[in-house]
Structure 1
């Protein structure tokens, strides 16, 4: 018992000394020997592959969506079980024309070299690129059972991110973004050929 008391006393004295030291260093503006430092032990970033890109990114749409998702448990009050989340998501969707699929005959040049004809594929959409600085969980109401479950497992917001991306993709498809990308691609190609004194005719699929 005496050994235990001495050990407890020693630990108590050490804690008191540490607190006093922190107070003194703060009062006299001295360097704090107990300051917190962040050590980055991350591994170097590895370049896994390099891919050639034959896409003309012709239009970018900026989108924002507020998700109001509620999960109810039948016959159980919301304060006991259930969940309602308000999630704000913002990001961009790129529309591009893939020129790598051009086949023989899609680009033809007249014999005198003054006119040309090109058949372009339809524009496509990249997956949404969420802006993490503007994407966040605004609020969340959870029942007692749900909160107890958080103590056992880590809460996952992946479903909210996926739902936000799905809604942005649907909005981009209905926004006319691909049509704008195709128009911008025509303008770019027409201007490029015009600089070579070639009159270009662009035909879509």
Structure 2
């Protein structure tokens, strides 16, 4: 009897394909998700600087027309202006949670100006007197005031911003505009306090006095006295 060798038959590829394809598809899917996550998070937390130019992004100004809300007449003399700069270090913590989970810390450089002026609108006829031959004049003015701080956007910027995990997740959906508003308000308040402690108002009164004396001297007055009340 002739024996016939029985060759082992290869397994059906249809039974092996799913096992072989399964790991490859899972790895490919994980890789795609990882790339998308890095691209998305990179724009938020600046882990991938320069990635924005990869897709040729462009900015388009679609702002509508600027509306004039009101016009006010200013009866005041802007006599001096101070330039200020402050580094704001604002930290917000959450109770019972570590900073890595919930909390923010922002370093912000705020640069701005504060003007000082003398208001002429309340001057009455009794506040300006002259002698009979109009060679001497006496003027009484209110003390100089300080204007509101005006931040300079070209020289104000965020140096560093640290956020907890929950804060980062919240920024992904909302952008957290309140955070930027908080540091700018704090910078303006510190600049305003610094202006009050400076000699800005005194300098404004000195400049106003010099301006009025020069003006009246040109009109023929030889003696000009300016005081502040």
2:154 pairs with one of 110, 116, 133: 133
User: Quick one: structure 1 residues 39 and 81, their matched pair in 2 at CA, closer, same or farther if it must change by over 3 Å?
Assistant: closer
| Alpha-carbon distance in 2 for matches of 1:151, 1:168 | 32
Matched, 1:185 2:193: no
Larger Rg: 2
Mapped partners of 2:183, 2:81: distance in 1? 23
Instruction: Quote the residue 2:4 is aligned against.
Output: none
Match of 1:152 in 2: 173
Partners of 1:170 and 1:36 in 2: CA distance: 42
Q: Equivalents in 1 of 2:60, 2:190: separation in Å?
A: 39
Matched with 1:64 is 85
Q: Which runs of 5+ in 2 are unaligned?
A: 1-55
Q: Between 48-57 and 84-93, report the one with greater CA deviation.
A: 48-57
More helix by share: 2
TM-score, normalised via structure 1 length:
0.78
Distance 1:185 1:139 in 2: 42
**What 5-or-longer segments of structure 1 have no aligned partner?**
1-34
Measured in 1, the distance between the counterparts of 2:63 and 2:172 equals 28
Report how far residue 109 of structure 1 moved.
1.3
Residues 5-154 of structure 1 correspond to what in structure 2 (within 5 A)?
40-154=61-175
State the number of aligned residues.
171
1:72 and 1:44 map into 2 onto residues whose CA distance is 41
Q: 1:203, CA displacement in angstroms?
A: 1.2
Out of 73-82 and 39-48, give the one that drifted further: 39-48
> Compared with structure 1, are the counterparts of its residues 111 and 89 closer, same or farther at alpha carbon in structure 2 (3 Å cutoff)?
same
Q: Residues 88 and 39 (structure 1 numbering): CA distance in 2 closer, same or farther, change over 3 Å?
A: closer
Q: Structure 1 residue 161 and structure 2 residue 202: aligned?
A: no
